[in-house]
Amino acid sequence: MFTGLIEEMGVLRSVQRRGEAMIMGVSASKVLEDVKLGDSIAVNGVCLTVVSFDRTSFEVDVMPETYRHTNLSSLKPGAPLNLERAMQAGGRFGGHLVQGHVDGVGTIRGRTAEANAVVFAIEPNDPAMLRHVVQQGSVTLDGISLTVVSTNRDEGIFTVSIIPHTLRETVLQHKHPGDSLNIECDILGKYVDHLLGWRDQAASTRKTGGLTESVLRDNGFM
């Protein structure tokens, strides 16, 4: 579990590709201070496991599922990376609950200065993700805990406002319209939506006379 507060920007040092699998080598410093084999580190918002490390870098495996559903597959050596170690139970909780389980990728459609802030407009590649993006709620972009400023389902976008510190200390400083971002929606909203779906399905089952062949088929049991 993470908080979405980036600890440092690392650099992608190396990439070994094997089909839809990768081994990424990442140069870093702060996140290596107490690292152990098997630790979790969020890389651009993706929870990955440390498989080897030395004083200046660490390596992580990227499996096909992660390769297909994040922007890690498009990265090239030299790319900056947002890094965060897993949260400590006794630490300050300055962001929101972040799993490092990316829901999908979005594309930046706008970057506009507004006084001391920069407003990013994001279009999720899967419009269904907007179901879990709530105005004034939380969203994670490339591992950064942010507050949603607005949503526009007709246009299929949402916006976030970035303060100078966040822009300066994260990969967002390098991001422009057309670039991609990993999106993780708020876990609380996803669970509530899932449970309400089961409730509605159960109510529908009761109305149609209980467990039927069509219910089993519709839910993948046949």
Summarised one tens digit per residue, pLDDT across range 12-46 is 999 999 999 999 999 999 999 999 999 999 999 99
Residue 24: predicted pLDDT: 98
Per-residue pLDDT, averaged over 124-146, amounts to 95
* Long-range contact pairs involving 39-42 (C-beta distance under 8 Å, separation at least 24): 39/85, 39/86, 40/85, 40/86, 40/100, 41/83, 41/84, 41/85, 41/86, 42/2, 42/82, 42/83, 42/84, 42/85, 42/86, 42/98, 42/100, 42/143
Residue 199: predicted pLDDT: 64
Contact 84, 5 (CB under 8 A): yes
Cα-only R_g, the chain = 19
Residue 68: Cβ within 10 Å count: 11
Between CA 180 and CA 182 the distance in angstroms is: 7
Q: Which is nearest to 12 in space by CA: 31, 22, 26, 23? A: 26
Q: What pTM, to 2 d.p., does this model score?
A: 0.85
Average pLDDT, the chain: 91
Q: Which is nearest to 168 in space by CA: 116, 122, 95? A: 116
Q: Given this chain, do its domains 8-85 and 104-190 carry the same CATH topology?
A: yes
Domain limits of the chain? Answer: 8-85, 104-190
Query: Hey, what CATH topology would domain 8-85 get?
Result: Elongation Factor Tu (Ef-tu); domain 3 (2.40.30)
Per-residue pLDDT, averaged over 161-187, amounts to 97
DSSP bridge partners of 121: 110, 159
> In this structure, what are the phi and psi dihedrals at residue 201, rounded to the nearest 5 degrees?
-65, -40
Residue 124 pLDDT exceeds 60: yes
Q: Give the torsion sign (CA, 166, 157, 147, 105).
A: negative
Q: How far, rounded to the nearest angstrom, does the alpha carbon of residue 116 sit from its chain's CA centroid?
A: 25
Between CA 156 and CA 130 the distance in angstroms is: 7
Architecture of domain 104-190: Beta Barrel (2.40)
The amino acid present at 86, given as its one-letter code, is A
Q: What are the angstrom distances between the C-alpha of 82 and each of 9, 44, 59, 108, 176? A: 5, 5, 15, 17, 16
Provide the H-helix boundaries in the chain.
64-69, 164-169, 187-207, 213-218
